Amino acid sequence: MRHLLDTTDLTLEEIDDMIALATDIIENKQKYAHVCDGKKLATLFFEPSTRTRLSFEAAMYELGGNVLGFSSADSTSASKGETVEDTVRMVSNYADIIAMRHPLEGAPRVATTRTLVPIINAGDGGHAHPTQTLTDLLTIYREKGKLGDITIGLCGDLKFGRTVHSLIKAMCRYKNVKFVLIAPKELQVPDYIISDVLIPSGAEYVQVESLEDVMPTLDVLYMTRIQRERFFSEEEYLKHKDAYILDLKKLDNAKKDLTIMHPLPRVNEISTDVDDDPRAKYFEQALNGKYIRMALIMTLLKWGGNLEY
Ligand code: CP
């Protein structure tokens, strides 16, 4: 049995296989409509979510399976003090696979010590969000036809944005990826991303504050939300909240084939007038999330000997 706690749990070949499976699902939906008949996915969301939870649920339904779970810890025995270990051990009696989001970094790893079924990390604190990263890789692959030889700008809250941390860890494994890290100094990536991820990978990277200055160089622009819930004070959040707002004017000197991404939800980082620009791909990205999660559910169930396809 295998779990997905971070994208580094997967080899590049396994990621390629999952992207290929997701692509086949997109092109041949009917072929997969009963693959998970009789299987159950539990969605344990101790922290709010729209896309991740609903796309997991839609994914399982479209594979013919069923879903149980909760969208808030308030309605569960966690509010009475039940531990993550006990919750997961018990839920793993009821479901074939578990997708779990938790505000505490490492909670999904703790869950793997007690579960009887595969655990998928659907986001843990400011640490990692591997299924968002698989979504992002599928989106980049579908837009660019490759995952290497790309200059990617990551803009906004690079300190607390777990999607950014996971995406850097994944993309630096491909050849000739250049990272342009665009953030105010206080919101730059944590030091460990530089020392333990970027430097050992040999990937080229620059840290800048101005989005306008680097715009012409970018193949992909990954905008992110300033993560209000992870700031220590409201004052700190307010200082940074509108640090970057992408609008059509700022795209004047961007490449014609730029791919604009955002894990969503957006607050104010991308003006709605950008939505109709053909380079805006964030809603397609959210849709891709459903297809890659279908591929992931199938793959983990197969690796656990609980599915044949
Ligand atoms: N991208 C993402 O994780 O969105 P949700 O918080 O709505 O799941």
pLDDT: which is higher, 141 or 225: 141
Q: What is the pTM of this model?
A: 0.95
Cα 307 from Cα 304, distance rounded (Å): 8
**Ligand 1 pocket residues where CB is under 6 Å:** 49-52, 123, 132, 263-265
What's the pLDDT score for residue 229?
A: 66
Can you tell me the distance from the alpha carbon of 50 to that of 57, in angstroms, rounded to the nearest whole number?
11
Per-residue pLDDT for 230 more than 80? Answer: no
Please tell me the distance between residue 186's alpha carbon and the centre of ligand 1 in angstroms: 24
Q: What is the pLDDT of residues 8-54, one digit of tens each?
A: 999 999 999 999 999 999 999 999 999 999 999 999 999 999 999 99
- 238 CB-near residues (< 8 Å, 6+ apart): none
Binding residues for L-aspartate: 80, 162, 225
Task: Give the ligand 1 atom nearest the CA of 53.
Answer: 8
Mean pLDDT of 225-231: 73
Is 52 an active-site residue? Answer: yes
Q: What pLDDT was estimated at residue 99?
A: 98
Sheet containing strand 150-155, strands side by side: 204-208, 177-182, 150-155, 220-223, 259-261
State both tokens at 62: 């479209």
CA-nearest residue, atom 3 of ligand 1: 52
Report the alpha-carbon angle 150-155-160, nearest 5: 115
pLDDT in tens, 265-304: 998 899 999 999 999 999 999 999 999 999 999 999 999 9
Question: pLDDT tens, 69-97?
Answer: 999 999 899 989 999 999 999 999 999 99
CA 173 to ligand 1 centroid distance, Å: 24
Choosing from 54, 132, 284 the residue with most ligand 1 atoms within 8 A of its CB, the one to mutate for a pocket test is 132
Which ligand 1 atom is nearest residue 55's CA? 8
Query: Which are the contacts of 136, defined by CB distance < 8 A and separation ≥ 6?
Result: 163, 167, 170, 222, 261, 263, 285
Domains of the chain as residue ranges with CATH: 7-128+288-303 (3.40.50.1370), 130-286 (3.40.50.1370)
Catalytic residue among 3, 39, 43, 51: 51
Which residue, judged by its Cα, is nearest atom 1 of ligand 1? 263
3-class SS string, 137-176: HHHHHHHHCCCCCEEEEEECCCCCCHHHHHHHHHHCCCCC
pLDDT value, residue 233: 76
Distance 242 CA to ligand 1 centre (A): 20
Pick from 70, 125, 134, 107: nearest CA to 285: 134
pLDDT at 208 over 70: yes
Angle, vertex CA 121, rays to CA 201 and CA 224, nearest 5: 65
**pLDDT tens sequence across 102-159:** 999 999 999 999 999 999 999 998 889 999 999 999 999 999 999 999 999 999 999 9
The count of other CB atoms within 10 Å of the CB of residue 294 is 28
Residue nearest to atom 4 of ligand 1 (CA): 51
